[in-house]
A and B are shown apart, each in its own frame.
Chain A
Amino acid sequence: MVSLKNDEEFQKIRIIPARVIQQTVGNLCLQANTLLRKDVIIALNKALAKEKNQRARICLKQILDNAQIARSEKLAICQDTGLPSVFIEIGSNVHVDGNLYKAVSSGVMEGYRRGYFRDSVVIDPLERATPASSIPLVHTEITGGRRLHIIVLPKGFGCENKTRLKMFLPTASKEEIIAFIIETVSCAGADACPPYIVGVGIGGTADYACFIAKKALLRPLNHRNSDSVLANLEDTLLKKINRLGIGPMGLGGKTTALAVKIEKAATHIAGLPVCVNISCHALRSAEADI
Protein backbone atom coordinates (compact mmCIF):
# COMPACT_ATOMS: atom_id res chain seq x y z
CA MET A 1 0.00 0.00 0.00
CA VAL A 2 1.19 3.49 -0.79
CA SER A 3 1.56 5.63 2.25
CA LEU A 4 -0.25 8.86 1.53
CA LYS A 5 1.59 10.65 4.27
CA ASN A 6 4.82 10.53 2.39
CA ASP A 7 3.23 11.42 -0.85
CA GLU A 8 4.41 14.85 -1.91
CA GLU A 9 1.08 15.63 -3.55
CA PHE A 10 -0.73 14.94 -0.33
CA GLN A 11 1.42 17.46 1.48
CA LYS A 12 0.05 20.09 -0.83
CA ILE A 13 -3.55 19.36 0.02
CA ARG A 14 -5.13 22.17 1.97
CA ILE A 15 -7.99 21.39 4.31
CA ILE A 16 -10.69 24.03 4.68
CA PRO A 17 -13.35 23.40 7.33
CA ALA A 18 -16.92 23.88 6.06
CA ARG A 19 -17.52 26.15 9.04
CA VAL A 20 -15.07 28.72 7.61
CA ILE A 21 -16.94 28.69 4.31
CA GLN A 22 -20.23 29.16 6.12
CA GLN A 23 -18.92 32.21 8.00
CA THR A 24 -17.43 33.72 4.87
CA VAL A 25 -20.65 33.30 2.89
CA GLY A 26 -22.63 34.89 5.73
CA ASN A 27 -20.34 37.91 5.78
CA LEU A 28 -20.41 38.22 2.00
CA CYS A 29 -24.23 38.28 2.03
CA LEU A 30 -24.16 41.16 4.50
CA GLN A 31 -21.51 42.98 2.55
CA ALA A 32 -23.12 42.55 -0.86
CA ASN A 33 -26.55 43.70 0.30
CA THR A 34 -25.51 46.75 2.29
CA LEU A 35 -22.34 48.08 0.62
CA LEU A 36 -22.91 49.03 -2.98
CA ARG A 37 -20.02 47.96 -5.22
CA LYS A 38 -17.35 50.66 -5.60
CA ASP A 39 -17.29 50.34 -9.38
CA VAL A 40 -21.06 50.88 -9.47
CA ILE A 41 -20.73 54.00 -7.32
CA ILE A 42 -17.99 55.33 -9.61
CA ALA A 43 -20.17 54.68 -12.66
CA LEU A 44 -23.14 56.42 -11.04
CA ASN A 45 -21.04 59.48 -10.21
CA LYS A 46 -19.69 59.60 -13.74
CA ALA A 47 -23.21 59.41 -15.12
CA LEU A 48 -24.34 62.21 -12.80
CA ALA A 49 -21.51 64.42 -13.99
CA LYS A 50 -22.66 63.98 -17.61
CA GLU A 51 -26.42 63.96 -17.14
CA LYS A 52 -28.33 67.17 -18.00
CA ASN A 53 -31.92 66.00 -17.58
CA GLN A 54 -33.19 67.40 -14.25
CA ARG A 55 -35.34 64.41 -13.35
CA ALA A 56 -32.49 62.06 -14.16
CA ARG A 57 -30.13 64.08 -11.99
CA ILE A 58 -32.51 63.92 -9.03
CA CYS A 59 -32.87 60.16 -9.50
CA LEU A 60 -29.12 59.56 -9.71
CA LYS A 61 -28.59 61.59 -6.56
CA GLN A 62 -31.28 59.56 -4.79
CA ILE A 63 -29.55 56.35 -5.83
CA LEU A 64 -26.23 57.61 -4.45
CA ASP A 65 -27.93 58.85 -1.24
CA ASN A 66 -29.54 55.47 -0.90
CA ALA A 67 -26.17 53.72 -1.08
CA GLN A 68 -24.86 56.07 1.59
CA ILE A 69 -27.81 55.42 3.93
CA ALA A 70 -27.59 51.66 3.36
CA ARG A 71 -23.92 51.76 4.29
CA SER A 72 -24.25 53.90 7.41
CA GLU A 73 -27.50 52.37 8.69
CA LYS A 74 -26.55 48.80 7.70
CA LEU A 75 -29.79 48.57 5.73
CA ALA A 76 -30.36 46.56 2.58
CA ILE A 77 -29.62 48.68 -0.51
CA CYS A 78 -32.85 47.33 -1.94
CA GLN A 79 -35.62 45.44 -0.14
CA ASP A 80 -35.42 42.77 -2.81
CA THR A 81 -32.39 41.00 -1.45
CA GLY A 82 -32.88 38.60 -4.27
CA LEU A 83 -32.16 35.03 -5.08
CA PRO A 84 -28.49 34.72 -4.13
CA SER A 85 -26.26 33.07 -6.70
CA VAL A 86 -23.01 31.81 -5.20
CA PHE A 87 -20.06 31.11 -7.47
CA ILE A 88 -17.30 29.03 -5.95
CA GLU A 89 -13.92 28.26 -7.46
CA ILE A 90 -12.25 25.38 -5.68
CA GLY A 91 -8.58 24.69 -6.20
CA SER A 92 -7.89 21.06 -7.02
CA ASN A 93 -5.63 20.84 -3.98
CA VAL A 94 -8.34 21.97 -1.63
CA HIS A 95 -10.22 19.51 0.50
CA VAL A 96 -13.41 20.81 2.09
CA ASP A 97 -13.93 19.18 5.44
CA GLY A 98 -17.70 18.90 5.68
CA ASN A 99 -20.59 19.51 3.32
CA LEU A 100 -19.86 22.45 1.02
CA TYR A 101 -23.44 23.00 -0.16
CA LYS A 102 -24.86 22.84 3.36
CA ALA A 103 -22.20 25.30 4.50
CA VAL A 104 -23.15 27.76 1.75
CA SER A 105 -26.89 27.45 2.47
CA SER A 106 -26.38 27.91 6.21
CA GLY A 107 -24.06 30.83 5.54
CA VAL A 108 -26.69 32.55 3.41
CA MET A 109 -29.36 31.90 6.00
CA GLU A 110 -27.14 33.33 8.71
CA GLY A 111 -26.23 36.40 6.68
CA TYR A 112 -29.84 37.11 5.76
CA ARG A 113 -30.95 36.68 9.36
CA ARG A 114 -28.25 38.97 10.70
CA GLY A 115 -28.98 41.61 8.08
CA TYR A 116 -32.78 41.45 8.54
CA PHE A 117 -32.96 40.85 4.81
CA ARG A 118 -36.09 39.75 3.05
CA ASP A 119 -36.43 36.09 2.28
CA SER A 120 -37.68 36.04 -1.26
CA VAL A 121 -37.19 32.43 -2.34
CA VAL A 122 -40.13 30.01 -2.57
CA ILE A 123 -39.09 26.37 -2.33
CA ASP A 124 -41.69 25.21 -4.81
CA PRO A 125 -42.24 27.38 -7.88
CA LEU A 126 -45.82 26.15 -8.30
CA GLU A 127 -47.02 25.88 -4.70
CA ARG A 128 -45.37 29.20 -3.76
CA ALA A 129 -45.69 28.99 0.04
CA THR A 130 -44.50 32.09 1.94
CA PRO A 131 -40.69 32.14 1.90
CA ALA A 132 -39.01 31.13 5.13
CA SER A 133 -35.41 31.43 4.01
CA SER A 134 -33.21 32.46 1.11
CA ILE A 135 -32.03 29.37 -0.69
CA PRO A 136 -29.00 30.08 -2.84
CA LEU A 137 -28.10 28.64 -6.21
CA VAL A 138 -24.57 27.32 -5.97
CA HIS A 139 -22.22 27.01 -8.94
CA THR A 140 -18.90 25.27 -8.41
CA GLU A 141 -15.88 25.18 -10.65
CA ILE A 142 -12.61 23.33 -10.12
CA THR A 143 -9.50 25.40 -10.70
CA GLY A 144 -5.82 24.78 -10.03
CA GLY A 145 -4.05 25.46 -6.76
CA ARG A 146 -4.98 25.70 -3.12
CA ARG A 147 -7.35 28.59 -3.21
CA LEU A 148 -11.08 28.71 -2.62
CA HIS A 149 -12.79 31.77 -4.07
CA ILE A 150 -16.38 32.71 -3.28
CA ILE A 151 -18.61 35.28 -4.94
CA VAL A 152 -22.11 36.08 -3.70
CA LEU A 153 -24.44 37.79 -6.18
CA PRO A 154 -27.89 38.47 -4.73
CA LYS A 155 -29.98 39.51 -7.70
CA GLY A 156 -33.50 40.85 -7.48
CA PHE A 157 -36.20 39.64 -9.81
CA GLY A 158 -37.47 42.97 -11.09
CA CYS A 159 -34.54 42.84 -13.45
CA GLU A 160 -34.04 39.06 -13.62
CA ASN A 161 -37.55 38.88 -15.13
CA LYS A 162 -36.31 40.88 -18.11
CA THR A 163 -33.76 38.26 -19.17
CA ARG A 164 -34.07 37.09 -22.78
CA LEU A 165 -32.45 34.29 -24.74
CA LYS A 166 -32.43 33.99 -28.49
CA MET A 167 -31.03 31.15 -30.54
CA PHE A 168 -29.73 32.95 -33.63
CA LEU A 169 -28.85 31.27 -36.90
CA PRO A 170 -25.10 30.75 -37.19
CA THR A 171 -25.19 33.09 -40.18
CA ALA A 172 -26.73 35.96 -38.20
CA SER A 173 -24.99 39.31 -38.50
CA LYS A 174 -23.61 41.41 -35.66
CA GLU A 175 -26.29 43.96 -36.45
CA GLU A 176 -29.03 41.42 -35.73
CA ILE A 177 -27.44 40.60 -32.39
CA ILE A 178 -27.11 44.27 -31.53
CA ALA A 179 -30.76 44.84 -32.43
CA PHE A 180 -31.83 41.98 -30.13
CA ILE A 181 -29.85 43.33 -27.20
CA ILE A 182 -31.21 46.85 -27.67
CA GLU A 183 -34.73 45.50 -27.98
CA THR A 184 -34.30 43.59 -24.72
CA VAL A 185 -33.27 46.75 -22.88
CA SER A 186 -36.11 48.61 -24.52
CA CYS A 187 -38.59 45.94 -23.32
CA ALA A 188 -37.25 46.26 -19.78
CA GLY A 189 -38.00 49.97 -20.16
CA ALA A 190 -38.79 51.69 -16.89
CA ASP A 191 -39.65 48.47 -15.05
CA ALA A 192 -36.35 47.00 -13.87
CA CYS A 193 -34.81 49.99 -12.07
CA PRO A 194 -32.62 51.66 -14.67
CA PRO A 195 -29.86 52.71 -15.13
CA TYR A 196 -29.00 49.15 -16.04
CA ILE A 197 -25.88 47.07 -16.24
CA VAL A 198 -26.35 44.79 -19.22
CA GLY A 199 -24.76 41.34 -19.09
CA VAL A 200 -24.53 39.48 -22.39
CA GLY A 201 -23.53 35.88 -23.05
CA ILE A 202 -22.74 34.90 -26.62
CA GLY A 203 -22.11 31.30 -27.69
CA GLY A 204 -22.04 28.00 -25.83
CA THR A 205 -25.37 26.23 -25.42
CA ALA A 206 -28.68 27.83 -24.47
CA ASP A 207 -28.05 27.26 -20.77
CA TYR A 208 -24.39 28.23 -20.92
CA ALA A 209 -25.12 31.51 -22.72
CA CYS A 210 -27.47 32.39 -19.85
CA PHE A 211 -24.83 31.40 -17.30
CA ILE A 212 -22.10 33.58 -18.78
CA ALA A 213 -24.52 36.47 -19.32
CA LYS A 214 -25.07 36.51 -15.59
CA LYS A 215 -21.36 36.06 -14.85
CA ALA A 216 -20.59 39.06 -17.06
CA LEU A 217 -22.25 41.20 -14.37
CA LEU A 218 -19.39 40.31 -12.05
CA ARG A 219 -16.77 42.03 -14.18
CA PRO A 220 -15.64 45.39 -12.77
CA LEU A 221 -17.58 48.05 -14.67
CA ASN A 222 -14.53 50.24 -15.21
CA HIS A 223 -12.32 47.50 -16.69
CA ARG A 224 -12.13 47.37 -20.44
CA ASN A 225 -12.75 43.97 -22.03
CA SER A 226 -9.40 42.41 -22.96
CA ASP A 227 -10.96 41.10 -26.17
CA SER A 228 -10.92 44.13 -28.47
CA VAL A 229 -13.83 42.93 -30.62
CA LEU A 230 -16.01 42.53 -27.55
CA ALA A 231 -14.74 45.81 -26.09
CA ASN A 232 -15.83 47.64 -29.23
CA LEU A 233 -19.16 45.86 -29.25
CA GLU A 234 -19.68 46.89 -25.62
CA ASP A 235 -18.98 50.53 -26.52
CA THR A 236 -21.34 50.46 -29.48
CA LEU A 237 -24.11 48.90 -27.43
CA LEU A 238 -23.71 51.33 -24.53
CA LYS A 239 -23.95 54.31 -26.88
CA LYS A 240 -27.06 52.96 -28.57
CA ILE A 241 -28.74 52.02 -25.29
CA ASN A 242 -28.12 55.47 -23.87
CA ARG A 243 -29.84 56.96 -26.88
CA LEU A 244 -33.08 55.13 -25.99
CA GLY A 245 -34.00 57.94 -23.59
CA ILE A 246 -35.37 55.62 -20.88
CA GLY A 247 -33.18 57.22 -18.22
CA PRO A 248 -32.92 56.60 -14.47
CA MET A 249 -36.16 55.07 -13.17
CA GLY A 250 -37.55 55.43 -16.67
CA LEU A 251 -38.15 59.16 -16.25
CA GLY A 252 -35.98 60.18 -19.20
CA GLY A 253 -32.38 61.20 -19.67
CA LYS A 254 -29.30 59.79 -21.27
CA THR A 255 -28.34 57.42 -18.48
CA THR A 256 -30.20 54.24 -19.38
CA ALA A 257 -27.24 51.93 -18.80
CA LEU A 258 -24.04 52.30 -16.84
CA ALA A 259 -22.20 49.52 -18.66
CA VAL A 260 -22.49 46.60 -21.07
CA LYS A 261 -20.42 43.51 -20.31
CA ILE A 262 -20.09 40.66 -22.78
CA GLU A 263 -18.73 37.14 -22.30
CA LYS A 264 -18.33 34.67 -25.12
CA ALA A 265 -17.84 30.91 -25.45
CA ALA A 266 -17.24 28.38 -28.19
CA THR A 267 -20.45 27.21 -29.81
CA HIS A 268 -21.85 24.75 -32.38
CA ILE A 269 -21.60 25.24 -36.16
CA ALA A 270 -25.40 25.16 -36.35
CA GLY A 271 -26.16 27.86 -33.81
CA LEU A 272 -25.46 31.13 -32.06
CA PRO A 273 -27.12 31.50 -28.63
CA VAL A 274 -27.31 35.01 -27.22
CA CYS A 275 -28.59 35.73 -23.72
CA VAL A 276 -29.13 39.16 -22.22
CA ASN A 277 -29.27 39.39 -18.44
CA ILE A 278 -30.15 42.86 -17.23
CA SER A 279 -29.18 44.10 -13.82
CA CYS A 280 -30.78 47.04 -12.09
CA HIS A 281 -28.57 49.86 -10.80
CA ALA A 282 -28.45 47.99 -7.49
CA LEU A 283 -25.89 45.52 -8.80
CA ARG A 284 -24.74 43.77 -5.68
CA SER A 285 -21.94 41.28 -5.29
CA ALA A 286 -19.12 40.58 -2.88
CA GLU A 287 -16.22 38.15 -3.01
CA ALA A 288 -13.52 36.66 -0.84
CA ASP A 289 -10.60 34.28 -0.99
CA ILE A 290 -10.18 31.62 1.59
Chain B
Amino acid sequence: MVKELTTPTSKKSLEKLRAGEQVLLSGFIYTARDQAHKRLYQMILRGEKLPLVLEGQAIYYCGPTKTPKGKIIGSCGPTTSGRMDDFTPLLLRQGLAVMIGKGNRSEFVRKAIKEYKAVYLVAPAGCGALLSTFVKEVSPIAFKDLGPEAIYRLKVEKMPLWVAIDSYAGTIFPKLNNRPKNNEEATD
Protein backbone atom coordinates (compact mmCIF):
# COMPACT_ATOMS: atom_id res chain seq x y z
CA MET B 1 0.00 0.00 0.00
CA VAL B 2 1.30 3.41 -0.93
CA LYS B 3 1.55 5.71 2.09
CA GLU B 4 -0.14 9.08 2.17
CA LEU B 5 0.89 12.36 3.73
CA THR B 6 -0.99 15.61 4.26
CA THR B 7 0.77 18.95 4.65
CA PRO B 8 1.06 21.05 6.75
CA THR B 9 2.02 18.22 9.02
CA SER B 10 3.30 17.39 12.47
CA LYS B 11 6.82 16.01 12.66
CA LYS B 12 5.25 12.93 14.22
CA SER B 13 3.46 11.96 10.99
CA LEU B 14 6.77 11.95 9.18
CA GLU B 15 8.11 9.15 11.34
CA LYS B 16 6.22 6.52 9.35
CA LEU B 17 8.06 7.36 6.13
CA ARG B 18 11.13 5.41 5.02
CA ALA B 19 13.61 6.18 2.26
CA GLY B 20 12.70 4.44 -0.98
CA GLU B 21 8.98 4.40 -0.38
CA GLN B 22 6.40 6.02 -2.59
CA VAL B 23 4.17 8.58 -0.92
CA LEU B 24 1.09 10.43 -2.13
CA LEU B 25 1.04 13.98 -0.86
CA SER B 26 -2.09 16.07 -0.45
CA GLY B 27 -2.57 19.49 1.07
CA PHE B 28 -0.62 22.69 0.69
CA ILE B 29 2.93 23.13 -0.57
CA TYR B 30 4.89 26.34 -1.18
CA THR B 31 7.08 26.85 -4.23
CA ALA B 32 10.50 28.38 -3.56
CA ARG B 33 13.72 28.09 -5.49
CA ASP B 34 17.09 29.84 -5.53
CA GLN B 35 16.20 33.53 -5.18
CA ALA B 36 13.29 32.95 -2.79
CA HIS B 37 15.56 30.84 -0.61
CA LYS B 38 18.18 33.53 -0.59
CA ARG B 39 15.59 36.08 0.53
CA LEU B 40 14.02 33.87 3.20
CA TYR B 41 17.46 33.04 4.50
CA GLN B 42 18.49 36.68 4.75
CA MET B 43 15.20 37.64 6.38
CA ILE B 44 15.67 34.97 9.04
CA LEU B 45 19.22 36.16 9.72
CA ARG B 46 17.97 39.74 10.09
CA GLY B 47 15.18 38.56 12.40
CA GLU B 48 12.42 39.79 10.07
CA LYS B 49 8.92 38.36 9.84
CA LEU B 50 8.66 35.82 7.02
CA PRO B 51 5.82 35.90 4.45
CA LEU B 52 4.91 32.38 5.59
CA VAL B 53 5.24 30.50 8.84
CA LEU B 54 7.51 27.56 8.08
CA GLU B 55 6.45 25.40 11.01
CA GLY B 56 5.13 22.09 9.67
CA GLN B 57 5.08 23.29 6.08
CA ALA B 58 6.29 21.77 2.81
CA ILE B 59 8.50 23.65 0.36
CA TYR B 60 8.56 22.60 -3.28
CA TYR B 61 11.67 23.54 -5.26
CA CYS B 62 9.82 24.61 -8.37
CA GLY B 63 9.50 27.51 -10.79
CA PRO B 64 6.50 26.77 -13.01
CA THR B 65 5.93 28.02 -16.54
CA LYS B 66 3.35 30.72 -17.15
CA THR B 67 -0.21 29.50 -16.74
CA PRO B 68 -1.87 28.67 -20.07
CA LYS B 69 -5.41 29.95 -20.62
CA GLY B 70 -7.98 27.74 -18.97
CA LYS B 71 -5.43 25.90 -16.80
CA ILE B 72 -4.78 26.06 -13.07
CA ILE B 73 -1.03 25.95 -13.54
CA GLY B 74 1.48 25.26 -16.30
CA SER B 75 4.22 22.68 -16.33
CA CYS B 76 5.54 22.50 -12.76
CA GLY B 77 8.21 19.90 -12.08
CA PRO B 78 10.98 20.05 -9.49
CA THR B 79 14.30 21.83 -9.86
CA THR B 80 17.68 20.54 -8.61
CA SER B 81 17.54 20.51 -4.81
CA GLY B 82 21.29 20.64 -4.22
CA ARG B 83 21.35 24.34 -5.08
CA MET B 84 19.21 25.03 -2.01
CA ASP B 85 21.50 23.10 0.36
CA ASP B 86 23.32 26.05 1.87
CA PHE B 87 20.03 27.69 2.89
CA THR B 88 18.34 24.51 4.10
CA PRO B 89 19.55 23.97 7.70
CA LEU B 90 18.38 27.43 8.76
CA LEU B 91 14.93 26.83 7.25
CA LEU B 92 14.73 23.46 8.98
CA ARG B 93 15.53 25.17 12.25
CA GLN B 94 12.44 27.35 11.68
CA GLY B 95 10.32 24.22 11.60
CA LEU B 96 10.20 23.42 7.88
CA ALA B 97 9.00 19.82 7.78
CA VAL B 98 9.01 18.66 4.16
CA MET B 99 11.17 19.50 1.16
CA ILE B 100 10.28 18.38 -2.34
CA GLY B 101 12.71 18.51 -5.24
CA LYS B 102 14.94 16.34 -7.36
CA GLY B 103 18.39 14.91 -6.99
CA ASN B 104 20.86 14.47 -4.21
CA ARG B 105 21.56 16.56 -1.09
CA SER B 106 24.75 17.31 0.77
CA GLU B 107 25.80 15.32 3.79
CA PHE B 108 25.22 18.36 6.07
CA VAL B 109 21.62 18.56 4.84
CA ARG B 110 21.07 14.89 5.59
CA LYS B 111 22.34 15.46 9.14
CA ALA B 112 20.10 18.51 9.58
CA ILE B 113 17.10 16.52 8.32
CA LYS B 114 17.71 13.99 11.07
CA GLU B 115 18.29 16.61 13.71
CA TYR B 116 15.02 18.42 12.95
CA LYS B 117 13.08 15.24 12.10
CA ALA B 118 12.09 16.48 8.64
CA VAL B 119 11.91 14.59 5.32
CA TYR B 120 13.18 15.17 1.82
CA LEU B 121 10.94 13.88 -0.97
CA VAL B 122 11.60 13.74 -4.70
CA ALA B 123 9.05 14.36 -7.42
CA PRO B 124 9.07 12.79 -10.90
CA ALA B 125 11.82 14.92 -12.38
CA GLY B 126 11.30 16.37 -15.83
CA CYS B 127 7.60 15.51 -15.66
CA GLY B 128 6.17 18.99 -15.23
CA ALA B 129 3.16 18.37 -17.44
CA LEU B 130 2.21 15.24 -15.50
CA LEU B 131 2.73 17.01 -12.16
CA SER B 132 0.46 19.87 -13.17
CA THR B 133 -2.47 17.45 -13.13
CA PHE B 134 -2.17 17.02 -9.34
CA VAL B 135 -2.39 20.77 -8.63
CA LYS B 136 -5.90 21.94 -7.76
CA GLU B 137 -5.35 25.54 -6.67
CA VAL B 138 -2.63 28.19 -6.90
CA SER B 139 -2.28 31.38 -4.86
CA PRO B 140 0.61 33.85 -4.93
CA ILE B 141 2.17 34.37 -1.52
CA ALA B 142 5.31 36.50 -1.78
CA PHE B 143 8.14 37.96 -3.88
CA LYS B 144 5.99 38.53 -6.97
CA ASP B 145 8.84 40.48 -8.53
CA LEU B 146 10.74 37.20 -8.91
CA GLY B 147 8.36 35.98 -11.61
CA PRO B 148 8.59 32.20 -11.86
CA GLU B 149 10.79 32.22 -8.75
CA ALA B 150 8.09 33.82 -6.57
CA ILE B 151 6.51 31.88 -3.72
CA TYR B 152 3.16 30.32 -4.62
CA ARG B 153 0.97 28.14 -2.48
CA LEU B 154 -0.24 25.08 -4.35
CA LYS B 155 -3.06 22.88 -3.22
CA VAL B 156 -2.22 19.38 -4.39
CA GLU B 157 -4.04 16.08 -4.36
CA LYS B 158 -2.22 12.76 -4.23
CA MET B 159 0.96 14.07 -5.81
CA PRO B 160 3.15 10.99 -6.40
CA LEU B 161 6.51 11.39 -4.66
CA TRP B 162 9.35 9.28 -3.31
CA VAL B 163 10.97 9.46 0.10
CA ALA B 164 14.60 10.27 -0.68
CA ILE B 165 15.84 11.09 2.85
CA ASP B 166 13.72 10.09 5.83
CA SER B 167 13.64 11.62 9.30
CA TYR B 168 16.16 9.05 10.51
CA ALA B 169 18.64 10.20 7.82
CA GLY B 170 18.07 7.06 5.81
CA THR B 171 18.62 7.81 2.15
CA ILE B 172 17.80 6.30 -1.18
CA PHE B 173 20.86 7.77 -2.82
CA PRO B 174 23.99 5.67 -2.48
CA LYS B 175 26.49 8.49 -2.43
CA LEU B 176 25.84 11.87 -0.86
CA ASN B 177 27.53 15.01 -1.98
CA ASN B 178 30.26 15.68 0.55
CA ARG B 179 31.01 19.30 -0.12
CA PRO B 180 31.25 21.55 2.93
CA LYS B 181 28.66 24.17 3.61
CA ASN B 182 29.24 27.48 1.87
CA ASN B 183 28.03 29.95 4.46
CA GLU B 184 29.05 30.20 8.06
CA GLU B 185 25.73 30.60 9.95
CA ALA B 186 24.81 26.94 10.29
CA THR B 187 27.81 25.55 12.04
CA ASP B 188 25.11 23.93 14.13
Residues of chain A at the chain B interface (Cβ within 8 Å): 55, 58-59, 62-63, 65-67, 69-70, 73-81, 115-120, 130-131, 158, 161, 189-193, 245, 249-252, 280-282
Q: Sort chain B's interface into a size bin.
A: 35 or more
User: Does A245 contact B174, Cβ atoms closer than 8 Å?
Assistant: yes
User: Does B103 contact A117, Cβ atoms closer than 8 Å?
Assistant: no
User: Does A116 contact B162, Cβ atoms closer than 8 Å?
Assistant: no
User: Does B75 contact A62, Cβ atoms closer than 8 Å?
Assistant: no
User: Does A281 contact B126, Cβ atoms closer than 8 Å?
Assistant: yes
Q: A66-B127, A118-B66 are in contact. Are A79 and B77 (CB under 8 A)?
A: yes
B128 lies within 8 A of chain A by Cβ: yes
B79 lies within 8 A of chain A by Cβ: yes
0 or 1 for each of B46-90: is its CB under 8 Å from A? (1 = yes): 000000000000000011111111010011110111100000000
Report whether over half of chain A's contact residues are helix, strand or loop; otherwise say mixed.
loop
**A118 contacts which of B65, B71, B80, B82 (Cβ < 8 Å)?**
B65
Residues from chain A with Cβ under 8 Å of B67 in the complex: 116
| Separation of A54 and B1 alpha carbons in the complex (Å) | 14
| Separation of A73 and B81 alpha carbons in the complex (Å) | 27
Closest to A194 in B: B125
B95 lies within 8 A of chain A by Cβ: no
Residues from chain A with Cβ under 8 Å of B162 in the complex: 55, 249, 251
Residues from chain B with Cβ under 8 Å of A158 in the complex: 79-80, 102-103, 125
User: Does B65 contact A249, Cβ atoms closer than 8 Å?
Assistant: no
Q: Using A66-B127, A130-B145, A158-B102 as known contacts, list a sample of 8 further A-B pairs with CB atoms less than 8 Å apart, ordered by residue number in A.
A: A75-B129, A78-B128, A79-B64, A79-B75, A116-B74, A118-B66, A189-B103, A192-B103
